[in-house]
Structure 1
Amino acid sequence: MTNTITVGVVGAGRIGKLHVENMLRMDGVSVKTIADPFAERAQEWADKLHIPHLVTDPNEIFSDSEIEVVFICSPTDTHVDLIKRSAAANKHIFCEKPISFSDEETMAAYQAVKEAGVQMQVGFNRRFDQNYARVKNYVETGKIGELHILRITSRDPEPPTLDYVKSSGGIFMDMTIHDFDMARFVAGEVKEVYATGAALVNPDIATVGDIDTALIQLTFESGALGIIDNSRQAVYGYDQRIEAFGSKGSAESANETETRVKFSSNESVSEDQPLHFFLERYNHAYIDEVQQFFTAIQTDSAVPCTFEDGIMAQRIAAAAKESLTTGRPVAVKKIQ
């Protein structure tokens, strides 16, 4: 590993562009090549950022000996193949969630990464939000006593298109998977999942086999209980809250707003709405997760969000989907 980390990025969509723009502001990082099958759509953007190579074929990344790290920011159904090819090329990997929609395919990619001996981090950026990290610290240090209930609220400001829903893997894989990872991050392994849901925001979502409103009950290995509530539409903004309630107290994180000012008068009391979406709400977390990934590579230490973390979040999501379908609690499969 040289002093400068040379990166190739697969995928020039919204999340790929976000990572590229963040990395270009980091010392000791060089983004050399971006691959996207529709590269021409990103040409003007790449030119403004002085990206050396914008290509359609990711093989130009895998065959380039100067590129040490691959960021996989493409659609989920491409992840496993790209992980395997990155590992075969002996390149470290950062992959956005979920790893795949298939446990079998994910485990095949996991084996390829282990055999290659490269580092891989999964993009669960919320772990790097300072508010959630503080809640975890209160749990981990025992300041709230024995954890009894973990409550997570996650509601998007507006629903996705039906075309997106069709290819997203469903609400549990696409949206709630962040909450499943956060639940494990704060409270440990999940033993069992029970999920209910409906298409209350847009009934058409039900016609493509998905829901937009959900309640998920978790039972942790510790015996603590968890509840996650999701909606695809919170008309007041991006609603992201968490509370850990224990025998000695509770720790909670409220929504981030543009300012903390509250205005009070004889007519009303008002304050800013939550930040509109994830790019604003988790901006610093996206930067920190990448910086910590690069530090792990440079120091040959464990990445802060592992392949195993990605596997378990995916398995909880699969269990939730099965529970929704069967109407029964479902045990979460462990990594053997």
Structure 2
Amino acid sequence: MRIKVGLIGFGRMGRCYLKEMQKSGRWDVLYICDVDADSRELAKRLSPESKIIENEQAIFEDERVQVVGLFALADSRKEQIEKAIQSGKHIISEKPVADTIDKEWEVVDLTENGENLSTVNLYLRNSWYHQAIRQFIAQGEIGELAILRICHMTPGLAPGEGHEYEGPAFHDCGMHYVDLARWYAGCEYKTWHAQGINMWNYKEPWWIQCHGTFQNGIVFDITQGFVYGQLSKDQTHNSYVDIIGTKGIARMTHDFKTAVVDLHGVHHTHHIEKPFGDKNIDVLCDLFADSVQTGIRNPQLPLIRDSAVASEYAWEFLRDAHTHDLPAIGELKILEQIRERRKNMKNGYGLLPK
């Protein structure tokens, strides 16, 4: 039996979920909801068998709907999660699960005290490359994990292009890497120091590097920013994970098409290249479908709590950056040039939907 689902929010992520659900054959998309008329028209073309609606209430009132997918803006999610729990529906949510950290922790309480299954899209946990690295570490090949180095710098979204409800770049995107480090460490953060820079004289740092320790002694550094050659003729990026143990290392790089993993352990050396996998929504949807059909939550699924913890620390690291010297380099007119260029770009990073 296919799982009946209603999707709320049909922007970029909502469309990604629809595509993977249609491809898998395990889902019956009964509803697609969006307040934007153009998005509803697109939904009609892409999923003619679905009921396309403007008012989300119909999804929560339809007893046939087993799962709701929450892909609209973050300020809508707490209320939608409350409705889902009240109507007995399982939940797949984008991150963050609310627009303020206080509301996120309220959502954690709601979901943990209810009987509904819930998960959030912390997509790096579902990637084949991080799963392979974690397995290699668990086999003892690199000895004790000691140092976590994570970097993700792209041209990406410029300020003002979609961060209104998810915060500056280090929260909107960077919380994925805050979660990833915590997932590898298997422990909570203990100390940190963050340094940022207000590129183009924008009011918030669009690049931050944070380093510190976990409670078990593992050290980390996380670098994230959408400042990497925004106006360069040919855009590029720099994204890697570099994990150092007492005996060996594991590392990963990617070009958004192919991920490359190098594992150098005490007994084995591996070089693996496979397709990158993008947001790994197919994996998330399959794990959640398995959980709904069996009634047993797959332990690989991220918890709502994981999202709230990552969000809270990402905000904390941002606040810490504001307590130190925060230089401003560049001028706002350069940012205007970046925004104008991105309006017409057909190939690039983090392009806005037309």
Q: Sort the TM-score into its range (normalised by shorter chain).
A: 0.7 to 0.9
Cross-structure match for 1:283: 278
Separation of aligned partners in 2, 1:127 and 1:76? 21
- Shift of residue 134 of structure 1? 1.4
- Picking from 190, 198, 212, the partner of 1:218 is 212
Cross-structure match for 2:322: 325
Cross-structure match for 2:194: 195
Separation of aligned partners in 2, 1:257 and 1:104? 34
Larger fraction in helix: 1
Q: One-letter code of the match for 1:290?
A: C
Deviations 1:107-127 (A, max 9, x none): 222222233310110101111
Cross-structure match for 1:292: 287
Cross-structure match for 1:306: 303
Separation of aligned partners in 2, 1:82 and 1:133? 31
1:78 aligns with 2:76: yes
Separation of aligned partners in 2, 1:147 and 1:258? 28
SS of match in other structure, 1:127: helix
Matches within 5 A, 1:95-134: 95-134=93-132
Cross-structure match for 2:139: 141
SS of match in other structure, 1:199: strand
Contact 2:170 2:225 (C-alpha < 8 Å) held by counterparts:
no
Contact 2:196 2:321 (C-alpha < 8 Å) held by counterparts:
yes
Separation of aligned partners in 2, 1:259 and 1:155? 17
1:316 aligns with 2:313: yes
Q: One-letter code of the match for 2:284?
A: E
Q: Under a length normalisation based on structure 1, what TM-score does the superposition of the two structures give?
A: 0.84
Cross-structure match for 1:88: 86
Q: One-letter code of the match for 1:299?
A: T
Matched residue count: 304
Separation of aligned partners in 1, 2:257 and 2:276? 10
Deviations 1:247-286 (A, max 9, x none): 01100012146579xxxxxxxxxxxxxxxxxxx9543722
Deviations 1:128-175 (A, max 9, x none): 111111122222332111111101111123332425344431223201
- Shift of residue 326 of structure 1? 2.5
Separation of aligned partners in 1, 2:208 and 2:49? 41
Contact 1:136 1:185 (C-alpha < 8 Å) held by counterparts:
no
- Distance change (3 Å), C-alpha of 1:311 and 1:259: closer
Cross-structure match for 2:340: none
Q: State the Cα RMSD in Å.
A: 2.3
Structure 1: give runs of 5+ residues left out of the alignment: 261-279, 329-336
Cross-structure match for 2:24: 26
Cross-structure match for 1:243: 242
Deviations 1:272-320 (A, max 9, x none): xxxxxxxx95437221111111112222223411112112111211221
Separation of aligned partners in 2, 1:258 and 1:109? 35
- Picking from 45, 61, 64, the partner of 1:63 is 61
Structure 2: give runs of 5+ residues left out of the alignment: 230-234, 260-274, 326-354
- Distance change (3 Å), C-alpha of 1:26 and 1:321: same
Q: Which stretches of structure 1, 4 residues or more, deviate above 4 A after TM superposition?
A: 257-260
Q: Under a length normalisation based on structure 2, what TM-score does the superposition of the two structures give?
A: 0.80
- Picking from 221, 224, 229, the partner of 2:223 is 229
